[in-house]
Amino acid sequence: MTLKAYLHDHLAAIAWFFIGLALLCFGLWLDPGQRVRWDTLLYIAVLVTGLAAALLAWHYTRTKKWVKAFTDRQSAGAEALDWPLNPASSHEHAAISEAYNHVLREHRQAQSELIARQQDQKAFIDSWVHEIKVPLAAAGLLQDSLDGQAPEKPLDDLALQLDKINFYVEQVLYYSRLDSFSKDYLLREYDLKPLVDGVIVDQRNSFIDRRISFTLNGHSLTVVTDEKWLRFILGQLVSNALKYTAPGGKITATIQDAKTEATLTIADTGIGIPQDELHRVFEKGFTGTNGRNANQRSTGLGLYLADQLSQKLGHHLTIRSTVGKGTAVTIHFPHLSFYGESGATLTKPDLK
């Protein structure tokens, strides 16, 4: 708190002090029973004003220290939530301190309860995901056992639906682990081509069902990433491309190496995204015009998860699209640099 601000807050009290002092001096000067010289009254007025100024300065110092306790906590951000106020010397400040500290205690208690509920919910989701995989695997084995004994078309449809269930189960699992990402990743060097091929194989039933062709362009390129999380990101991008590409369309993956980064682009010949919606496609829950189509039932989580996980891995996503001509999503892998060396990966030092 500045002195100017303090005086502005106490301007009315200062004004009333001078008015009262003037009335007192004027009354003494007019009283016929009191013979007080005007210079004596002036001396008394100056003396009283000096004492009042000293009291005001003391009160300003005390108030400034009190206000600083709040401004320090304001600049501390989230850390202020664990920083109670010290006991105050006046009854007024003590009441405020107690109210402030009471709010902090209530907040910490509510926060602890919320964290506990979230942890319980996450544990339940993780358990449910692992439990549901058992009947899903059993259903897959049952489907395989019926090969040659049941019509081919229903079996293919069953395999496609099982793939979709597995996809959404994985999406739930990865969404629940988004906040604990730092505990579950391992950065290593991986060749992008086998990763892309593996994701396409996982979704082969959808490609066959929709008669969509796939092409992989570019040379083999090694990048530093986490295989499990990158496969999930690619799975989300390929699934989106399949969802919004008409039967008989085409999906293309292109690997490129530039001066400052490596890129992997998943492009489709689908319906495209309106230009006024492109800046929102990575927002959580945003479905857009295409997602509101009754045939799609979009959750708005796929691209959001892909974008969040990409950033946590040190990558990032960009998107371009034209309505009626398709969409292309690019994963950018910035080149690493260390002591003048730069590239998708770095040469390991010779320790011999």
Question: In angstroms, rounded to a whole number, what is the distance separating the alpha carbons of residues 331 and 345?
Answer: 16
What pLDDT was estimated at residue 344?
62
Residue 351 predicted with pLDDT over 60:
no
What pLDDT was estimated at residue 294?
44
Question: In angstroms, rounded to a whole number, what is the distance separating the alpha carbons of residues 263 and 333?
Answer: 6
More confident residue, 185 or 234: 234
What pLDDT was estimated at residue 230?
93
The answer to whether 56 and 15 are in contact (CB under 8 A) is no
Please name the helix (run of DSSP H) or strand (run of DSSP E) that holds residue 232, with its range, or none.
helix 227-243
Query: Which among 294, 303, 306, 159 has a CA at the least distance from the CA of 233?
Result: 306
* From 135-149, 299-313, 337-351, the region with the lowest mean pLDDT: 337-351
Tokens of 170: 């994985």
Question: What value does the mean pLDDT take over residues 289-309?
Answer: 76
* pLDDT, tens digit, 9 for 90 and up, residues 1-46: 788 887 888 888 888 988 888 888 878 777 766 676 777 778 888 8
**What does each C-alpha distance from 176 to 131, 151, 284 come to in angstroms?**
15, 38, 14
The residues with which 267 forms a beta bridge, in sequence order, are: 252, 328
What pLDDT was estimated at residue 156?
81
Output DSSP code: residue 181. G
* pLDDT, tens digit, 9 for 90 and up, residues 261-282: 999 999 999 998 888 888 898 9
Which band of pLDDT confidence, cut at 50, 70 and 90, is reported for residue 171? Answer: confident
Cα 52–chain centre separation: 54
Query: Which among 283, 268, 203, 212 has a CA at the least distance from the CA of 291?
Result: 283
Residue 164 predicted with pLDDT over 90:
no
Average of per-residue pLDDT values in the chain:
84
Output DSSP code: residue 342. E
Residue type, 172: V
The answer to whether 60 and 76 are in contact (CB under 8 A) is no
Output DSSP code: residue 183. G
The answer to whether 261 and 335 are in contact (CB under 8 A) is yes
Residue ranges per domain, the chain?
Answer: 3-83, 186-343
| SS3 at position 316 | strand
Question: What value does the mean pLDDT take over residues 281-288?
Answer: 84
Please name the helix (run of DSSP H) or strand (run of DSSP E) that holds residue 328, with its range, or none.
strand 326-334
* pLDDT, tens digit, 9 for 90 and up, residues 54-87: 998 988 888 888 888 888 888 887 788 888 888 8
What pLDDT was estimated at residue 234?
94
The answer to whether 97 and 86 are in contact (CB under 8 A) is yes
Share of the chain above pLDDT 70, in %: 91
What pLDDT was estimated at residue 346?
55
Q: The domain 186-343: what is its CATH number?
A: 3.30.565.10
324 backbone dihedrals φ, ψ, rounded to 5°: 85, -10
What pLDDT was estimated at residue 287?
80
What pLDDT was estimated at residue 266?
95
The answer to whether 189 and 223 are in contact (CB under 8 A) is yes
Residue 128 predicted with pLDDT over 80:
yes
Which band of pLDDT confidence, cut at 50, 70 and 90, is reported for residue 320? Answer: very high
Question: In angstroms, rounded to a whole number, what is the distance separating the alpha carbons of residues 50 and 68?
Answer: 27
Question: In angstroms, rounded to a whole number, what is the distance separating the alpha carbons of residues 84 and 68?
Answer: 14
What pLDDT was estimated at residue 296?
58
Most confident of 103-112, 135-144, 333-342: 103-112
Q: In terms of DSSP bridges, do strands 261-268 and 188-191 run parallel, antiparallel, or are they unpaired?
A: unpaired
The answer to whether 168 and 128 are in contact (CB under 8 A) is no
The answer to whether 250 and 215 are in contact (CB under 8 A) is yes
The answer to whether 333 and 202 are in contact (CB under 8 A) is no
More confident residue, 317 or 343: 317
